[in-house]
């Protein structure tokens, strides 16, 4: 196939054809990336961090405008970033899981006092 995406923290890897978006690769790997706009770069929910973007096609102007400078910290929109080689995509923590984790930490803190 020629291109490969590894999703963290899941650790799942999938081989795809070059030119496949990270979002489409995630669906193939059965890794959930939140999106509301169906991959049209409108909702900004599919933001992922790509520590080494060398395995991606260059960022297009539309994606650059949407990210507003965050591409410099390694962020890309999964629906726009096209895989050309080997890539690792770090997914953000699910908001519900983050809320549960924070609540559990708060409870553990209160019990420790």
- What is the SS3 assignment for 2-59? CEEEEEECCCEEEEECCCCEHHHHHHHHCCCCCCCCCCCCCCCCCEEECCCHHHECCC
Residue pair 31/69 in contact by the 8 Å Cβ criterion: no
pLDDT tens string, the chain, 113 residues long: the values are 689 999 999 899 999 999 999 999 999 999 999 899 888 888 899 999 999 999 999 999 999 999 999 999 999 999 999 999 999 999 987 777 778 888 888 888 888 75
What CATH homologous superfamily does 3-112 map to? Answer: Beta-grasp domain (3.10.20.30)
Per-residue model confidence (pLDDT) at position 100: 83
- The pTM for the full model equals 0.82
């Amino acid at each position: 196939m020629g291109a490969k995406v590894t999703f963290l923290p899941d650790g799942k890897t999938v081989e795809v054809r070059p030119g496949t978006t990270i979002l489409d690769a995630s669906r193939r790997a059965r890794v959930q990336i939140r999106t509301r706009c169906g991959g049209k770069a409108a909702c900004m929910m599919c933001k992922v961090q790509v520590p080494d973007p060398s395995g991606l096609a260059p960022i297009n102007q539309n994606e650059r405008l949407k990210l507003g400078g965050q591409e410099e910290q390694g962020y890309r929109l999964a629906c726009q970033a096209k895989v050309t080689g080997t890539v690792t995509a770090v997914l953000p923590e699910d908001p519900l899981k983050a809320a549960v984790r924070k609540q559990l930490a708060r409870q553990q803190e209160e019990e420790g006092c």
